Chains A and B, each alone.
Chain A
Amino acid sequence: MFAEYLTRGVKAGVVAGLVFGLFMAVVANPLVAYTDELNHATVEESGHSHEAESAHSHETEGTHSHETEGTHTHEAEGTHAGEGGGHHDTAVSMAVTKVVSVAAGGLWGVVLGGAFFGVAFFFLEPAIPGPDAAKSYLMGLAGFITVSGAPWLVLPPAAPGAEQSLSVATRLPLYAGMMLAGALACLSAGYVYTRLRESSGSVAALVGAAVPFALLAALAVVAPENAVHGALSPTLETGLTGLFAFGQVLLWLVLAAAHARFRPSSASESESAIPTAGRDSAPAAD
């Protein structure tokens, strides 16, 4: 049975991975490359105005050696405008980044599908409220809150090239901590909902289930502030943040829909057969 659940989760992951890989290839890759380039051009522009011309060119050679290399190949190729050009301080070319990122997008779907809809769903299914198909969507919502939603309350997706006031060493534990807080909020909301619905009805249960999420939001307010400062226009940055958030919402939605869809037709029978068997055997034991 465990293997069936894992297979079903990974299958949903493959579907979502295909969709998200496509999103990476046709939307995120070109946009990140373009905004990186734009951002870098703006930074270079301001560098020109601040420094003497000779000092600036010297600095370019010193710190952005790879960047100049990238521009060189771009000139040699002639066709790919700015490919690798605006992408400074990097160990690999933009072309490699694009291919690896698309592959990572596909694997991202598979990993989330396997972990959340395979393993976690197997254990938590009995505790998730609602009919069978709704369980998949609730799992998707909980997964989104855990992996992205909760951390984003503190560290929303940053636009390419934006400077952030908190250091990476601070942000990584903060991100992980908010993921943990998000998971706990989802689990306790489910627990509170199930408990309260039995005792005081579904309205009280819904109110009770909202409490952990309110606590999560309060935690996000208390968490250290991360000021993001980029060279891009604020409107463009808002749009990029929104787009990347939308991408993750889409990923979880496809995961949940595919998972609900892949429900084996026999599963609903065997699920209902299990409690029946239990009830049958109980009087026999008496």
Chain B
Amino acid sequence: MATANTVNGRIERARTELSPTQMAAGALFIAALGFTLLFVQDPLVHDSLHNFRHAAGVACH
């Protein structure tokens, strides 16, 4: 059955539960989020996260 408790079952379940539009929207959202985090190196954003980046162990200087 599609609900079999395996990883493949879960993927199958997500496929039946979510519409293609929902999946596309989700993928786009994650891509946008990742892009923002990776490439928005605007000094304003970057520098205001200075303390946080130290606390998270990702220091860039």
Contact = CB atoms under 8 A, between A and B. Distances in A.
B17 A127 contact: no
Contact of B7 (A32, A127, A277): A127
Q: Bin chain A's interface residue count.
A: 35 or more
Give the interface SS of chain B, mostly helix, strand, loop or mixed. Answer: helix
Contact of B6 (A96, A126, A171): A126
Contacts of A122: 10, 14
Interface residues of B, number: 31
A271 B57 contact: no
A104 interface: yes
Interface string B1-42: 101111101110110011000000000000001000000000
A123 B1 CA distance: 16
A281 B43 CA distance: 60
Contact of B55 (A126, A244, A274): A244
A91 B17 CA distance: 46
B59 A97 contact: no
A92 B14 contact: no
Contacts of B33: 111
A245 B1 contact: no
A91 B5 contact: no
Contacts of A275: 5
A53 interface: no
Nearest to A156: B57
Contact of A274 (B3, B7, B14): B3
Contact of B54 (A28, A90, A123): A28
Nearest to B42: A91
B57 A157 contact: yes
Q: Which 10 A-B pairs have the closest CB atoms?
A: A157-B57, A101-B52, A28-B55, A101-B51, A91-B43, A100-B48, A104-B52, A158-B59, A90-B47, A32-B51
